[in-house]
């Protein structure tokens, strides 16, 4: 476990908000929850909240949360969790000292670089991206990256999860679940892989998402599905998406209040329903274009909102996930890479623990195989920067410096041969001198990404599921598909 997880270890996070700033946002949130409330469209959730002391009017879906109720329910949520892989080698301790990276999900189109156009996504794209993610060393978590349009809408989520489980050993994150039946089926599938429901409760092989409906609303069927996750201790990423100026106040502090209220409301629901259920304070907050109101995922204001959300999660002693990639660029390449680099840098700086998600620009709607590879390279560089470097007797190399002396060379020294392996070698851009680069054909990094994709798909063989498990998954999915 340590070897894989250690590559994502980062230095102590920085704080960009004062303790008073965070306290003011938290206090404003508690006032909103107590006086305005949150609209909860799930009867089951309202019943659980009522039993825990929340103020529920049977004639209205709006729930008000007394401060002492919020405090009591929040205290039941685990402060640290481990996101498990299919094998323990890929387990990820979410303990405040790591920054993990996921793919992004729900792409509704795929970029075709040959034609410069978009095509419809299919289930094969999930198989291919799961296999690529299994290979890439800095993908921590795989999230099925597209909506498979070659399958009926009712079954695409479950089929996508099955293909994911077959093609990667890493932790799997389900994003698109909106019904109780989907959630129950995915729990069965994960339990099949883990060896039973009780083992799944101990080893969190899958995690799931509940998106809030900003401002201050929770969908009924999606919340009911989330309660199934909670019952089975499947970690729940509570993903607020308040867009500053549209579904939240245009001021960043105000947008954070709306997000904080929605997130804490879900924490309360899950703890009221299943005390001790693992929850993750997940936020994908964005600003708007003041000229058009359109999405600006890579804007500086969006980055600041992500930073604020991570710090509010830490203020509440909850694990966090954050939208650290998600450029608004319409195509893969320069804009997407610049915006994703800026956001990933800030996420690492302020301690984003689970950073979502590689490879889907245009507001997380367009799968690009090229951008998947470029985002992976960005993550490698960011983690190298924020891991820092060690200062000890070995790294100071004092005896070696004395030995080489003035005007000598370190190139042939054993110390150099030993430690040069720690230097990050670019995967896609050429570090050779210009003349040599020209002689090699002036290879463009975008072309190099697709060459690497083809190589991985041809050569990488993911560890297969055990035959009995594979048969069990097939049976579960077949039964669900009959519907």
Q: What was the pLDDT predicted at 1?
A: 46
pTM for this model (two decimals): 0.95
Q: What is the 3-state secondary structure (H, E, C) of the chain?
A: CHHHHHCCECCCCCCCCCHHHHHHHHHHHHHHHHHCCEEECCHHHHHHHHHCCCEECCCCCEEECCHHHHHHHHCCCCCCEEECCCCHHHCEEECCCECEEEECCCECEEEECCCCEEECCCHHHHHHHHHHHHHCCCCCEECCCECCCCCCCCCHHHHHHHHHHHHCCCEEEECCCCCHHHHHHHHHHHHHHHCCHHHHHHCECEEEEEECECCCEECHHHHHHHHHHHHCCCCEEEEECCEECCCECCCHHHHHHHHHHHHHHHHHHHHHHCCCCCEEEEECCEEECCCCCCEECCCHHHHHHHHHHHHHHHHCCCCEEEECCCCCCCCCCHHHHHHHHHHHHHHHHHCCCEEEEECCHHHHCEECHHHHHHHHHHHHHHHHHHHCCCCCHHHHCHHHHHHHCCCCCCCCCHHHHHHHHHCCCCCCCCCCCHHHHHHCCCCCHHHHHHHHHHHHHHHCCCCCCCHHHHHHHHHHHHHHHHC
Residue 182: what are its φ and ψ, rounded to 5°? -60, -45
The interaxial angle of helices 43-51 and 220-231, nearest 10 deg, is 60
Q: What was the pLDDT predicted at 355?
A: 95
| Domains parsed from the chain with CATH numbers | 2-16+75-387 (3.20.20.480), 394-422 (no CATH)
Cα-to-chain-centroid distance, residue 195: 25
123/101 Cα distance (integer angstroms) = 22
Q: What was the pLDDT predicted at 2?
A: 66
pLDDT in tens, the chain (483 residues): 468 999 999 999 999 999 999 999 999 999 999 999 999 999 999 999 999 999 999 899 999 999 999 999 999 999 999 999 999 999 999 999 999 999 999 899 999 999 999 999 999 999 999 999 999 999 999 999 999 999 999 999 999 999 999 999 999 999 888 899 999 999 999 999 999 999 999 999 999 999 999 999 999 999 999 999 999 999 999 999 999 999 999 999 999 999 999 999 999 999 999 999 999 999 999 988 889 888 887 788 988 999 999 999 999 999 999 988 888 899 999 999 999 999 999 999 999 999 998 999 998 999 999 999 999 999 999 999 999 999 999 999 999 999 999 999 999 999 999 999 999 888 888 888 999 999 988 988 999 999 999 999 999 999 999 999 999 999 999 999 997
309/241 Cα distance (integer angstroms) = 11
Q: What was the pLDDT predicted at 87?
A: 95
120/148 Cα distance (integer angstroms) = 8
Q: What was the pLDDT predicted at 430?
A: 85
Q: Which of 98, 94, 136 is nearest to 6 (CA)?
A: 98
């Amino acid at each position: 476990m340590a070897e894989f997880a250690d590559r994502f270890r980062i230095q102590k996070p920085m704080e960009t908000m004062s303790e008073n700033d965070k306290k003011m946002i938290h206090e404003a949130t508690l006032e909103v929850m107590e006086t305005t409330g949150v609209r909860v469209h799930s009867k089951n959730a309202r019943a659980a909240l009522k039993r825990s002391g929340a103020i529920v009017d049977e004639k209205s879906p709006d729930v008000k949360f007394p401060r002492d109720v919020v405090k009591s329910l929040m205290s039941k949520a685990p402060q640290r969790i481990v996101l498990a892989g299919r094998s323990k080698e890929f387990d990820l301790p979410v303990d405040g000292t790591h920054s993990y990276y996921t793919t992004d999900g729900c792409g509704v189109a795929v970029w075709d670089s040959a034609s410069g156009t978009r095509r419809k996504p299919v289930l094969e794209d999930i198989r291919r991206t799961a296999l690529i993610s299994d290979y890439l060393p800095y993908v921590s978590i795989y999230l099925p990256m597209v909506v498979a349009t070659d399958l009926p809408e009712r079954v695409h989520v479950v089929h996508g999860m099955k293909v994911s489980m077959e093609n990667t050993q890493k932790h799997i994150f389900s994003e698109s679940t909106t019904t109780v039946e989907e959630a129950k089926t995915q729990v069965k599938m994960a339990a099949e892989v883990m060896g039973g429901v009780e083992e799944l409760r101990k080893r969190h092989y899958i995690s799931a998402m509940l998106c809030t409906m900003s401002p201050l609303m929770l969908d009924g069927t999606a919340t009911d599905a989330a309660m199934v996750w909670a019952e089975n201790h499947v970690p729940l990423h509570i993903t607020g998406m308040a867009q500053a100026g549209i579904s939240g106040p245009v001021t960043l502090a105000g947008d954070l209040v709306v997000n904080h209220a929605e997130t804490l409301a879900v924490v309360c629901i899950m703890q009221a329903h299943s005390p001790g259920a693992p929850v993750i304070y997940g936020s994908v907050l964005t600003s708007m274009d003041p000229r058009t109101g359109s999405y600006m995922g890579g804007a500086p204001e969006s980055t600041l909102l992500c930073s604020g959300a991570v710090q509010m999660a830490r203020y509440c002693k909850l694990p966090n996930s954050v939208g650290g990639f998600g450029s608004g660029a319409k195509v893969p390449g320069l804009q997407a890479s610049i915006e994703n680099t800026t956001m990933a840098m800030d996420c690492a700086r302020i301690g984003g623990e689970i950073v979502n998600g590689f490879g889907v620009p245009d507001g997380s709607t367009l799968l690009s195989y090229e951008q998947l590879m470029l985002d992976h390279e960005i993550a490698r560089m960011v983690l190298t920067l924020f891991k820092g470097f060690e200062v000890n007797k070995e790294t100071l190399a004092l005896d070696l410096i004395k030995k080489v002396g003035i005007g000598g060379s370190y190139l042939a020294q054993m110390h150099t041969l030993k430690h040069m392996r720690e230097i990050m070698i670019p995967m896609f851009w050429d570090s050779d001198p210009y003349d040599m680069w020209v002689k090699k054909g002036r290879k463009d990094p975008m072309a190099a990404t697709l060459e690497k994709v083809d190589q991985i798909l041809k050569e990488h063989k993911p560890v297969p599921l055990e035959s009995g498990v594979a048969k069990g998954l097939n049976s579960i999915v077949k039964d669900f598909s009959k519907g």
